[in-house]
Amino acid sequence: MTAASHARNTTIQRILGIARRCCVVGVLGSMCGCNPFQTGEPESPTGALIQYPSPSTTDNVLAILSLSMRAKDSRAFLDRLTADFRFLPDPVQIQGPDFRTFPAEWGTVQEEMALAVLFSNSDSVTVDWSSVFTQHRVEGASVGATYRVNVFSRTSLTASYTGRVEIVMTQEAGSWAVREWRDYVVSGESNTWGLLRARLLGSG
């Protein structure tokens, strides 16, 4: 294990420890208002095996992101992000108090830490995509979609998040991956995936 990997693992474990002590489930509750790279088939929280499609299309990547959240499989989710992945919150929402400690740059390290806290403090997570529009370009593809993320704890809905994304995907060796993810608030909704990310790391 490299020094960088050891440091990242130590940071993740520290955040998990703090999250458990701070009862992140309570924080979430207050906010209500076949893959060639996969070495195995993880079980979902209900015990059913998850079959991942090949990341050979942009639609399949969205499906993998949803399935990996349902399976609480952070590795499958992170495998669909490029090494230089960047997440950008809604440009207006980021001015709010929940984003005071939001990192200047959100990459795969921050995504992995947020997933670890989320998965360890929820029974299940579902992601649904709708109104998907894809535009292919020479350098990749731009995907727009509306999402709904539901977080469940003790079999009841703890919190729900709705917004719209603009995702830039690139293709390498026939496989698509997310390079850039822009989050946007939709009318009538304030809980976004960006807000969930901010509060997950902010809980530490």
What would the pLDDT profile of 48-84 be if each residue is shown by its tens digit? 578 899 999 999 999 999 999 999 999 999 999 999 9
* Structure confidence at residue 40 (pLDDT): 41
Give the gyration radius of the chain's Cα atoms.
16
Backbone angles phi, psi at 183, to 5 degrees: -105, 140
User: For residue 35, is pLDDT > 50?
Assistant: no
User: For residue 27, is pLDDT > 60?
Assistant: no
The structure tokens listed for 111 are 């995504």
Give a yes or no: residue 42 inside a domain.
Answer: no
Give the pairing of strands 140-153 and 124-137: antiparallel
* Structure confidence at residue 76 (pLDDT): 97
pTM more than 0.75: yes
The partner residues of 145 in beta bridges, in order of sequence, read: 165
CA dihedral 5, 10, 12, 13 (to 10 degrees): 140
Backbone angles phi, psi at 50, to 5 degrees: -95, 125
Spell out the SS3 assignment of 73-101.
Answer: CHHHHHCCEEEEEEEECCCCHHHCHHHCC
Give a yes or no: residue 21 inside a domain.
Answer: yes
Report, as an integer, the average pLDDT of 138-152: 95
CA dihedral 139, 169, 38, 113 (to 10 degrees): 130
Give a yes or no: residue 46 inside a domain.
Answer: no
User: For residue 13, is pLDDT > 80?
Assistant: no
Give a yes or no: residue 20 inside a domain.
Answer: yes
* Structure confidence at residue 140 (pLDDT): 94
Rounded Cα–Cα distance for residues 173 and 56 (Å)? 9
Chain segment 164-194, per-residue pLDDT in tens: 999 999 999 999 999 999 999 999 898 999 9
Higher pLDDT, 121 or 55: 55
Work out the mean pLDDT of the chain and round it to a whole number. 82
Report, as an integer, the average pLDDT of 103-127: 95
In the chain, the number of structural domains is: 1
Give a yes or no: residue 40 inside a domain.
Answer: no
Low-confidence winner among 3-7, 37-41, 123-127, 162-166 (lowest mean pLDDT): 37-41
Give a yes or no: residue 25 inside a domain.
Answer: yes
Q: What CATH number does residue 66 fall under?
A: 3.10.450.50
User: For residue 6, is pLDDT > 50?
Assistant: no
* Structure confidence at residue 177 (pLDDT): 98
Give a yes or no: residue 59 inside a domain.
Answer: yes
Higher pLDDT, 200 or 8: 200
* Structure confidence at residue 49 (pLDDT): 74
Residue-range definition of the domain harbouring residue 61 = 3-32+54-202
Rounded Cα–Cα distance for residues 65 and 56 (Å)? 14
Give a yes or no: residue 49 inside a domain.
Answer: no
Low-confidence winner among 89-98, 148-157, 177-186 (lowest mean pLDDT): 148-157
